[in-house]
Amino acid sequence: MINIKYLLTAMGITLLVVSCQNGLSEADKGEYLERGKKIAAATAENMLAEVGKNMKEGGVAQAVPFCNIHADGLTTEMAQQNGVSIKRTSHLLRNEKNVPTTREQEIIAQFQKLQTEKQELSPVVEQNEDGTVQFYMPIKLVQKCTVCHGVLGESLTQAHDSIIKSIYPKDQAIGFREGDLRGIWSIQFPKK
């Protein structure tokens, strides 16, 4: 007869091994996904409201310098409120400070591949080696972004591009069309 105690112990060990391999349980992953999406959406909304206000007041000539000075502060503020760190990064950068890590580059490449295969892009949650948890979410370009990130001579005027290049001489973040992958949100949650 099989010893029930032995069986239960074996099952327990198997479960433990499986859950350690994945790092995060499915329930944990779901929770981080929801929190990540909420934080990214709130940060985007916050930034867009500020950019919109500056666009109304002084157009691109005012909104671009505003972003240059305040984009960091706005994300930091949202990060502190939520006890996380928040980053926006891209394969085509405007601000060199937003340079992607190796893992972020891989995630962007994965999203680009899915995009060319016309598949849906969904956020990703992973545990880092140090136990922190990372959330990645695609950022797609919408029409109102094209005034500063669009195709030169089409949605992006030469005059606006000159303003952008005067602050970001190495700017690569133009040539995007609506629906293109502009970059990703990368949000880090502390160890539980």
172: three-class secondary structure by DSSP = coil
* DSSP state, residue 47: H
Give yes or no for residue 95 binding ligand HEC (CB under 6 A). Answer: yes
**CB within 8 A of 178, min separation 6: which ones?**
141, 142, 143, 146
119: three-class secondary structure by DSSP = coil
Contact 65, 167 (CB under 8 A): yes
Chain positions 145 to 164 lying near ligand HEC, rule: CB under 6 A, are 145, 147-149
| Cβ distance to ligand HEC smaller for residue 38 or 56 | 56
Residue type for position 92:
L
Question: Mask: binding to ligand HEC, 33-72, rule CB under 6 A, as x and -?
Answer: ---------------x--x---x----x--xx--xx--xx
152: three-class secondary structure by DSSP = strand
Least separation in angstroms between residue 51's CB and ligand HEC is 5
Q: Which residues bind ligand HEC (CB under 6 A)?
A: 48, 51, 55, 60, 63-64, 67-68, 71-72, 88-90, 93-95, 98, 139, 141-142, 144-145, 147-149, 173, 182-183
